[in-house]
């Protein structure tokens, strides 16, 4: 739930990076922290174990500019990816405005991706949130690996789409980030399907990190507009 | 009290009322600073002496601390722990739930007795709760208290991300 602070003239939004363990969620935040101007970001807080695995969450506040005299401040969180930290993970999702699912492109992590995606749907549903109706993007990370799962396979597994919740959305909608692809499309059988935007990433070198952040932030603000 | 409206917001008047109530609490106890934080970790206000740390980060960690303790409470069979006390050698903090929507954090040094904080915080929490009740009632009456400041701003949003 975004919070508008009229006294400070700020719009505060919460974005959560979700996904399987060691998939690159923290690396996304570290890259953003390293690249944005120090006066537009706060401290990067990591509640991690001694071997740098996220225990509770990482947190980074960043300002992305001003709209109508209000500073847009995004609070970026990661969740611990390891399966047994679900209680902590669920806490972080409370009052979320936008989700980035960071998927691991290694073939041996596909099962972990699927499990984490299911866990995301379940946790959101427990809060009464409908993931299909809120700002949500997917980042396919580690695309530089020679054995990376082909993009089409990852899309089919993690972003197969759903029937558009709003019937008025059942019209061909081009994907603004991938020429020639559609976010809303009609299948050969006549059914309409809606997918979320995806981004290819190599978080360790920063590729796709800002595209992902821009993609989800824009969706969050447009949901408010 | 009711959990409140799904969406709500503070206006300048709300903020002034909160600031006034918390300032009085600070004067009565000698606590040097206070923060009011939304349960999701957003900072609502800082009152009292300037803080020597990043209040945004502090707000986030406070909310996480409170949420984690909420879950611990449930595990031991309580609905929630409405207050938390963290005692340091010189600086301590007392954290109190306000209507399950806000968290009031009082920061004080070892010149302020904890008993006084514990006693006085009850009345300021009650005052803030009744203020929130009014804010929620107002939100329910009007449907939402949040005027849509971004209505029709789609082009401006596109422009914002043109980097």
B98-155 pLDDT, tens digit per residue, is: 998 899 999 999 999 999 999 999 999 999 999 888 877 877 776 654 567 777 777 8
Cβ separation A225–B54 shorter than 8 A: no
Which pLDDT value is given to residue B156? 80
Of A12, A43, A67, nearest to B153 by CB-CB distance is A67
Contacting residues of B for A3, CB less than 8 Å apart: 9, 38, 40, 42, 44
- Report the distance separating Cα A111 and Cα A159, nearest Å: 14
Per-residue pLDDT of chain A (225 residues; tens, 9 = 90+): 677 777 778 899 999 999 999 999 999 999 999 999 999 999 999 988 878 888 889 999 999 999 989 999 999 999 999 888 898 899 999 889 999 999 999 999 999 999 999 999 999 999 999 998 899 999 999 999 999 999 999 999 999 998 987 888 889 999 988 989 999 999 888 899 999 999 999 999 999 999 999 999 999 998 887
Structure tokens at B40: 């999701």
CB atoms within 10 A of CB A223: 15
Q: Parallel, antiparallel, or unpaired: how do β-strands A70-78 and A10-18 relate?
A: parallel
> Chain A residues with CB inside 8 Å of B161's CB?
64, 214, 217-218
Q: What is the pLDDT of residues A72-105, one digit of tens each?
A: 999 999 999 988 889 889 999 988 999 999 999 9
- What is the pLDDT, as a whole number, of residue B1? 33
pLDDT band of residue B7 (cuts 50, 70, 90) is low
Distance CA A132, CA B17 (A): 39
- For residue B85, the cross-strand partners are B94
The structure tokens 């390891």 sit at A82
Between positions 43 and 72 of A, the ones with CB within 8 A of B are: 43, 45, 47, 56-57, 59, 61, 64-68, 70, 72
Superfamily name and number for A3-159+196-224: P-loop containing nucleotide triphosphate hydrolases (3.40.50.300)
**What local confidence, expressed as pLDDT, does residue B154 receive?**
77
Contact, B135 vs B14, CB < 8 A? yes
Please report the pLDDT score of residue A52 as a whole number.
81
Return the higher-pLDDT residue of B88 and A10: B88
Distance CA A208, CA A141 (A): 9
The number of angstroms, rounded, from the C-alpha of B73 to the middle of its chain's C-alpha atoms is 20
Q: How far apart are CA B62 and CA B60, in angstroms?
A: 5
pTM above 0.80, yes or no: yes
**A174 φ, ψ (degrees, to nearest 5):** -65, 145
Query: Tokens 């349960």 — which residue?
Result: B39
* pLDDT exceeds cutoff 90 at B27: yes
User: What ipTM does the predicted assembly reach?
Assistant: 0.75
Question: Residue A131: phi, psi to the nearest 5?
Answer: -60, -30
Pairing relation of β-strands A136-141 and A197-200? Answer: parallel
- Please, are residues A14 and A77 in contact by the beta-carbon 8 Å criterion? yes
Class of domain B12-160: alpha beta
pLDDT for the residue A119? 97
Asked if B161 and A43 come within 8 Å (Cβ–Cβ), the reply is no
CA B129 to CA B98: how far, in whole Å?
6
User: What number of other Cβ atoms are within 10 A of residue A175's Cβ?
Assistant: 16
What is the number of other CB atoms lying within 10 angstroms of the CB of residue B162? 8
Residues of A (157-216) whose Cβ lies below 8 Å from B: 214
Q: Does A38 touch chain B (CB under 8 A)?
A: no
Task: Give the per-residue pLDDT at B8.
Answer: 60
- φ, ψ of residue A136 to 5 degrees: the values are -150, 125
Query: A87–B67: do the CB atoms touch at under 8 Å?
Result: no
Tokens of A225: 């507009």
Domain positions in chain A: 3-159+196-224, 161-195
pLDDT, position A115: 97
Contact A180, A143 (CB under 8 A): no
């Amino acid at each position: 739930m975004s919070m508008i602070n009229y006294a400070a003239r700020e719009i505060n939004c919460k974005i959560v990076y979700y996904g399987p363990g060691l998939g690159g969620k923290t690396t996304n935040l570290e890259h953003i922290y390293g690249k944005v101007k120090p006066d537009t970001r706060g401290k990067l807080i990591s509640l991690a174990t001694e071997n740098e695995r996220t225990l509770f969450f990482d947190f980074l506040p960043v300002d992305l500019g001003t709209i109508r005299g209000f500073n847009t401040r995004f609070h970026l969180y990661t969740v611990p990816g390891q399966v047994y930290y679900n209680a902590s993970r669920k806490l972080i999702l409370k009052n979320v405005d936008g989700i980035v699912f960071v998927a691991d492109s290694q073939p041996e992590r596909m099962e972990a991706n699927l499990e984490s995606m299911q866990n995301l749907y379940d946790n959101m549903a427990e809060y009464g949130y409908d993931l299909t109706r809120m700002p949500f993007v997917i980042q396919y990370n580690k695309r530089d690996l020679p054995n990376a799962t082909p993009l089409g396979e990852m899309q089919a597994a993690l972003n197969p789409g759903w029937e558009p919740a709003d019937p008025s959305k059942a019209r061909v909608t081009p994907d603004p980030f991938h020429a020639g692809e559609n976010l809303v499309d009609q299948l050969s059988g006549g059914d309409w399907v809606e997918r979320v935007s995806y981004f290819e990433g190599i978080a360790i070198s920063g590729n796709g990190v800002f595209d992902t952040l821009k993609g989800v932030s824009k969706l969050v603000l447009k949901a408010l507009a | 009290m009711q959990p409140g409206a799904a969406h709500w917001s503070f206006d300048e008047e709300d903020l002034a009322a909160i600031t006034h109530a918390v300032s009085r609490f600070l004067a009565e106890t000698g606590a040097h600073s206070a923060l009011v934080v939304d349960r999701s970790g957003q900072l609502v206000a800082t009152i009292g002496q300037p803080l020597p740390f990043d209040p945004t980060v502090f707000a986030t960690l406070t909310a996480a601390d409170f949420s984690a303790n909420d879950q611990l409470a449930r595990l031991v069979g309580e609905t929630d722990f409405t207050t938390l006390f963290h005692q340091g050698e010189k600086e301590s903090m007392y954290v109190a739930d306000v209507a399950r929507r806000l968290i009031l954090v009082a920061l004080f040094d070892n010149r302020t007795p904890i008993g006084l904080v514990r006693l006085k915080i009850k009345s300021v929490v009650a005052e803030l709760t009744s203020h929130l009740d009014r804010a929620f009632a107002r939100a329910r009456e009007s449907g939402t208290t949040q005027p849509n400041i971004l209505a029709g701003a789609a082009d401006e949003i596109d422009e914002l991300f043109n980097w």
